[in-house]
Structure 1
Amino acid sequence: MTGPDSGTADLRWVLHLDMDAFFASVEQLTRPTLADRPVLVGGAGPRGVVAGASYQARVFGARSAMPMGQARRRCPHATVLPPRFPLYKAISDQVMGVLAEFSPVLEPVSVDEAFIEPPSLAGASPSDVEAFGTRLRTAVRERTGLPASVGAGSGKQVAKIASELAKPDGLRVIAHAEQEAVLAPLPVRSLWGIGPVSGEALRKIGVDTIGRLAAMDGREVAGILGSAVGTELHRLARGIDDRPVAPRGAAKQISAETTFDADLTAMTAVHEAVASICVSVHRRLVADGRAARTVTVKARTGDFVTHTRSETTPFPTRELSTLTAVARRLAETAVGEGGVRLLGVSVSGFGDEPPLALFDAVPSAQGWAAAPAAESSGDVPPGLGLALTGGPGDAATEAGPAPGTGAVPEIGAGVLGTAVTAHPTAPAGPGTAAAEGMRPDRDPDPGRPWRAGDDVAHPEYGHGWVQGAGHGRVTVRFETAATGPGRTRTLDAADPALSRADPLRSWHPEDTAT
């Protein structure tokens, strides 16, 4: 390399795009009345968790991964909405489509962020990169209607830091020549991979900035943070980051879990909850066209003691009846004394599709036995007492795994509801928190068929969303991203003209009722 910014072809440019406050921004876009108001997305129950917070809510100290009760105390005037995962996934697909048009290879980090390394920028000047980033942000806004922040630098770590510096709705290019000056004064926690524990360990020895970490002897860092993690983080602090931008590996595990508003104390309730969770896991397993051999159940008690149990089947299966039977049996041994606060089910050990046969294996008192295979439609087998009425589709986090740092971060953000979460091959990073506190796929309470945040449609008033319901009445704000702020109408909760609607219609003008 002839010089830091000499324009030679060996200069590398990695870009990181991050959708600003993605979940909350989607809600503000598709529900224009909320555009400039504080919004919290997440579970509203006593154990609900914030999945996303708008910048207007963050001003008051609310943030992702915070208990919803705490966030509401900090920002009592915020609008609280349940997550709409299918809508977030649809918009995410459009964002990734734009990135694919700008670069032949992209590395999604989560539902709302990704890295690219466009070959056309190899050896480019900072001004050329800035122009590229401006075009990218414009394209994303034109395609989705949403703001995005873009950072660019010599590697993934610098690009990620640059996008953080650019927020909200900005662009930051860290030229190679200014990289050291920009990184040095930043808090050491700005490095992706340093969490509360490692951050505190460094603080105790007076290392509170990236510059001070970079100035340390590598052996000393390894002694404090561990050989592998310490060595990698020391390199990143010095701006050395040669990790390639590459597509993410296939998921090694598919899981779903639920935190209950009240602890489950009866095994019948545990069995029902496990069956419901298995439906979510099975839906994703079938969608991926894969089969699994290993089923794992996690149970967390009211005093936060976690027990896990696993079992591996003789051959891969994707039969819901089989997976549910195994999970239920495991739950009986995983659940200890006292109530159950959280239950989770995961499947792994993926293999080829099961052989074409009329029978599959299910556990019995004598071991594994043949049983008629269930239909592949995803219906719950007879006797489970559950009805499938749709679900959230793919789950997503607002922040995702660290881009191959090799470190296992210590804290998560962007917690989701009870939905399927794919665990990629790469190590988990900031934002891969457990799915707690929400039940977006549950049936409405038959006594109160409407809940705040529901998408509805009316033949006269069009598409809208429920602002509140009770005493036989329902208040609906009729508006979409295409209409701008709309009117509020209060209707009879039993009005036959009012029906549930696809959340996508709040975003796509062509799908919006008129």
Structure 2
Amino acid sequence: MVGESAVRKVIHVDMDAFFASVEQRDDPSLRGKPVAVGHGATRGVVAAASYEARTYGVKSALPSVTALRRCPDLIFVPPRFEVYRAVSQQIHSIFADYTDLIQPLSLDEAYLDVTADRRCLKTAWLTAKEIRARILTETGLTASAGISYNKFLAKLASDHRKPNGQFAVTPDMGAAWVETLPVSRFHGVGPVTAEKMKRLGIESGGDLRSKSLAFLQQHFGSSADWYFAIARGEDERPVNPNRVRKSSGSETTFRQDLVASDEIEAGVVRMVEEVWSWCEKRQAFGRTATVKVKYADFQQITRRRSRPSAITSFVELREAALDLIRSVLPTAKPIRLVGVTVSTFEDASSAPAGHLFEQDAQHTYDPAAA
């Protein structure tokens, strides 16, 4: 039994349908309607969806054409990232009144270690409740929260009472609660791994717990220790306010599939401009440049090159990206999407962990989902 004094108190705060909720807040005519943040063209993807849209199966990273097929009345709203950033800063200012141990995961979610109880609210439950109330008062937006003794359980818990709710997993219930959940909900278990686990007879946390460490090592290699621990509700990772960001990237889906080399190169340069703007602002410079290409048939390839020293100018990054894209040009097969990423930061300590969906996450479209 873990001593009470040793129990860490972690809150995971997750804004409810953040981008879409901001748009509904700022435009009352959108309230109560299915809203998707994105450009709405048949070539684009959904960056965020309101809860009204989610009832139709519309979700982030879904191709716009599929989203409209599922919900013909879907309203597309262009993203306003400068507004989302400003609201995110408001929210993080609230967090800072309760703890210095804040680990952002994105603009709309973060871990908070409130073990020290700076505001003397007695419990992490009351702390989460006050934080959510302040977010609503100061931004007009709702948030959900998960409270537990580690990050893994806090993140699972925040999804348990969404939207606009909170749920706590205490030390005496953690392991048993995990056993009841599908492994597909676990952090670190993606769709491919979940399917592999299913083939091995592992569908719930209880199934996962029944497997020995040797069995998990045989089938999952270096991930075995993590799966063995979380099946027991264990996660020793601290809330790390200095967690570094490992890459910065941007990608675009062309309005029409392209085969002309100059048009494809122009698309790459636009992505370089976005990535370099971030790097310059954060003074975070990487040694590795990567170009991603997705063809019209959804085949995806990447080309990557690392240098002995960091890329410290726009011209260097542009030339590196163009060299990489030219390695697949000219192309007879039309190209649907290109992306540019910089990684292996030389000054990673200056790079925050938070990210924007459309700019940083690299998403692969599964044709079977269309």
Q: TM-score, normalised by structure 1?
A: 0.65
Match of 2:356 among 396, 404, 413: 396
Matched, 1:148 2:143: yes
Aligned residue type for 1:108: P
Structure 1 residue runs of 5 or longer lacking an equivalent are: 353-393, 398-415, 422-431, 437-514
Aligned residue type for 1:177: D
Report the identity percentage: 34
Aligned to 2:253: 259
Task: Let me know the Cα RMSD of the aligned residues.
Answer: 2.5
Change (3 A) 1:213 1:314: closer
Distance 2:284 2:2 in 1: 50
Change (3 A) 1:351 1:160: closer
Distance 2:303 2:30 in 1: 44
Match of 1:190 among 180, 185, 209: 185
Aligned to 1:507: none
Match of 1:247 among 222, 241, 255: 241
Aligned residue type for 2:9: W
Alignment of 1:271-282 (within 5 A): 271-282=265-276
Distance 1:134 1:304 in 2: 45
Distance 1:2 1:311 in 2: 48
Distance 1:222 1:71 in 2: 39
Alignment of 1:168-187 (within 5 A): 168-187=163-182
How far off its partner does 1:25 sit?
0.8
Aligned residue type for 2:142: P
Aligned to 1:283: 277
How far off its partner does 1:96 sit?
1.5
Aligned residue type for 1:23: F
The C-alpha deviation readout for 1:149-205, integer Å capped at 9, x for no partner, is: 011112111111110102110011122222233222211112111122221222223
Question: Contact 2:20–2:48 (CA<8 Å) still a contact in 1?
Answer: yes
Distance 1:36 1:169 in 2: 15
Alignment of 1:121-132 (within 5 A): 121=117, 128-132=123-127
Matched, 1:83 2:79: yes
Aligned residue type for 1:104: D
Distance 2:262 2:2 in 1: 70
Alignment of 1:95-244 (within 5 A): 95-121=91-117, 128-224=123-219, 226-244=220-238
How far off its partner does 1:220 sit?
1.6
The C-alpha deviation readout for 1:374-407, integer Å capped at 9, x for no partner, is: xxxxxxxxxxxxxxxxxxxx9613xxxxxxxxxx
How far off its partner does 1:435 sit?
9.0
Question: Contact 1:91–1:144 (CA<8 Å) still a contact in 2?
Answer: yes
Alignment of 1:465-504 (within 5 A): none
Question: Contact 1:298–1:308 (CA<8 Å) still a contact in 2?
Answer: yes
Distance 1:266 1:170 in 2: 51
Distance 1:282 1:303 in 2: 30
Question: Contact 1:117–1:245 (CA<8 Å) still a contact in 2?
Answer: yes
Aligned to 2:368: none
Aligned residue type for 1:323: L
Change (3 A) 1:116 1:261: same
The C-alpha deviation readout for 1:458-492, integer Å capped at 9, x for no partner, is: xxxxxxxxxxxxxxxxxxxxxxxxxxxxxxxxxxx
Distance 2:237 2:285 in 1: 32
Matched, 1:24 2:17: no
Alignment of 1:10-49 (within 5 A): 10-49=6-45
Change (3 A) 1:100 1:64: same
Distance 1:57 1:305 in 2: 29
Distance 1:263 1:256 in 2: 18
How far off its partner does 1:248 sit?
4.3
The C-alpha deviation readout for 1:33-74, integer Å capped at 9, x for no partner, is: 212111111231222111111111111221122122112222
Q: TM-score, normalised by structure 2?
A: 0.88
How far off its partner does 1:121 sit?
4.8
Aligned to 1:304: 298
Aligned residue type for 2:363: A
Distance 2:55 2:253 in 1: 28
Structure 2 residue runs of 5 or longer lacking an equivalent are: 348-353, 366-370
The C-alpha deviation readout for 1:238-260, integer Å capped at 9, x for no partner, is: 11111111024333332222121
Aligned to 1:446: none
Aligned residue type for 1:259: T
Question: Contact 2:268–2:338 (CA<8 Å) still a contact in 1?
Answer: yes
The C-alpha deviation readout for 1:95-134, integer Å capped at 9, x for no partner, is: 1121121111111111111101113359x99x82221211
> Which has the higher Rg, Structure 1 or Structure 2?
1
In the alignment of these two chains, the number of paired residues is 357
Aligned to 1:434: 363
Change (3 A) 1:395 1:17: closer
| 3-state SS of paired residue (2:172) | helix
Change (3 A) 1:350 1:307: same
Question: Contact 1:149–1:163 (CA<8 Å) still a contact in 2?
Answer: yes
Q: Whose helix proportion is higher, 1 or 2?
A: 2
Bigger mean CA deviation after superposition, 32-41 or 298-307 = 298-307
How far off its partner does 1:212 sit?
1.9
Change (3 A) 1:327 1:235: same
Match of 1:345 among 323, 332, 340: 340
Distance 1:108 1:258 in 2: 25
Distance 2:76 2:30 in 1: 11
Question: Contact 1:85–1:395 (CA<8 Å) still a contact in 2?
Answer: no
